[in-house]
Protein backbone atom coordinates (compact mmCIF):
# COMPACT_ATOMS: atom_id res chain seq x y z
CA UNK A 1 0.00 0.00 0.00
CA UNK A 2 1.19 3.48 -0.84
CA UNK A 3 1.46 5.84 2.15
CA UNK A 4 -1.11 8.68 2.13
CA UNK A 5 0.10 11.74 0.27
CA UNK A 6 2.75 9.91 -1.75
CA UNK A 7 2.86 9.29 -5.49
CA UNK A 8 1.50 6.03 -6.84
CA UNK A 9 3.16 4.53 -9.93
CA UNK A 10 0.13 3.14 -11.78
CA UNK A 11 2.22 1.81 -14.64
CA UNK A 12 4.45 -0.22 -12.28
CA UNK A 13 1.39 -1.55 -10.43
CA UNK A 14 -0.23 -2.71 -13.66
CA UNK A 15 2.97 -4.42 -14.84
CA UNK A 16 2.64 -6.81 -11.87
CA UNK A 17 -0.67 -8.16 -13.24
CA UNK A 18 -0.09 -11.02 -15.67
CA UNK A 19 -3.63 -12.33 -15.94
CA UNK A 20 -6.97 -10.86 -16.98
CA UNK A 21 -8.25 -10.37 -13.43
CA UNK A 22 -9.54 -6.80 -12.97
CA UNK A 23 -7.45 -4.73 -10.57
CA UNK A 24 -8.96 -2.33 -8.06
CA UNK A 25 -7.49 0.20 -5.67
CA UNK A 26 -8.55 3.21 -3.61
CA UNK A 27 -6.59 6.32 -4.62
CA UNK A 28 -6.71 10.01 -3.84
CA UNK A 29 -6.68 12.46 -6.73
CA UNK A 30 -6.21 16.21 -6.74
CA UNK A 31 -3.57 18.83 -6.31
CA UNK A 32 -4.93 21.31 -3.77
CA UNK A 33 -7.63 19.06 -2.37
CA UNK A 34 -7.46 15.26 -2.26
CA UNK A 35 -10.59 13.42 -3.40
CA UNK A 36 -10.86 9.72 -2.53
CA UNK A 37 -11.58 7.71 -5.68
CA UNK A 38 -11.80 4.14 -6.83
CA UNK A 39 -9.44 3.08 -9.61
CA UNK A 40 -10.39 0.07 -11.75
CA UNK A 41 -8.06 -1.44 -14.34
CA UNK A 42 -8.85 -4.26 -16.72
CA UNK A 43 -6.51 -5.84 -19.23
CA UNK A 44 -8.00 -5.64 -22.71
CA UNK A 45 -8.13 -8.69 -24.99
CA UNK A 46 -4.89 -9.28 -26.91
CA UNK A 47 -6.51 -8.44 -30.27
CA UNK A 48 -7.63 -5.04 -28.92
CA UNK A 49 -4.15 -4.23 -27.61
CA UNK A 50 -2.57 -5.27 -30.91
CA UNK A 51 -5.05 -3.12 -32.83
CA UNK A 52 -4.24 -0.05 -30.76
CA UNK A 53 -0.51 -0.61 -31.27
CA UNK A 54 -0.81 -1.75 -34.88
CA UNK A 55 1.60 -0.53 -37.54
CA UNK A 56 -1.25 1.52 -39.02
CA UNK A 57 -1.85 3.28 -35.68
CA UNK A 58 1.89 3.87 -35.25
CA UNK A 59 2.14 5.29 -38.78
CA UNK A 60 -0.77 7.62 -38.01
CA UNK A 61 0.98 8.87 -34.85
CA UNK A 62 4.20 9.41 -36.77
CA UNK A 63 2.33 11.36 -39.46
CA UNK A 64 1.26 13.74 -36.66
CA UNK A 65 4.89 14.14 -35.59
CA UNK A 66 4.60 11.83 -32.59
CA UNK A 67 6.49 8.67 -31.75
CA UNK A 68 4.87 6.53 -29.07
CA UNK A 69 7.23 5.38 -26.34
CA UNK A 70 7.36 1.78 -25.12
CA UNK A 71 5.70 2.96 -21.93
CA UNK A 72 2.98 4.69 -23.95
CA UNK A 73 2.39 1.57 -26.01
CA UNK A 74 2.06 -0.47 -22.79
CA UNK A 75 -1.10 1.56 -22.01
CA UNK A 76 -2.73 -0.10 -25.04
CA UNK A 77 -3.01 -3.25 -22.88
CA UNK A 78 -5.35 -1.65 -20.34
CA UNK A 79 -8.67 0.07 -19.79
CA UNK A 80 -8.38 2.29 -16.71
CA UNK A 81 -11.37 3.91 -15.04
CA UNK A 82 -11.54 6.29 -12.07
CA UNK A 83 -14.75 7.03 -10.22
CA UNK A 84 -15.78 8.75 -7.01
CA UNK A 85 -18.23 5.88 -6.38
CA UNK A 86 -16.72 3.56 -3.81
CA UNK A 87 -17.75 0.18 -2.52
Q: Tell me, what's the pLDDT at 41?
A: 93
Total tally of structural domains belonging to the chain: 1
Residue 60 belongs to some domain of the structure:
yes
Residue 5 belongs to some domain of the structure:
no
Residue 58 belongs to some domain of the structure:
yes
Q: What is the DSSP string of the chain?
A: -PPTTS---HHHHHHT--SS--EEEEEEE-SSS-EEEEEEEEEPPHHHHHHHTSHHHHHHHHHTT----HHHHHGGGEEEEEES---
Identify the domain containing residue 45 by its residue range: 10-83
Is 5's pLDDT higher than 80?
no
Is 80's pLDDT higher than 80?
yes
Q: Tell me, what's the pLDDT at 82?
A: 94
Residue 4 belongs to some domain of the structure:
no
pLDDT, mean over the chain: 82
Residue 42 belongs to some domain of the structure:
yes
Least confident range from 14-18, 33-37, 43-47, 74-78: namely 14-18
Higher pLDDT, 86 or 15: 15
Amino acid sequence: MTPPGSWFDLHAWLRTAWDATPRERVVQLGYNERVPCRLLAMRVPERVAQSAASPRALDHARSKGRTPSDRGLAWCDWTVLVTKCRT
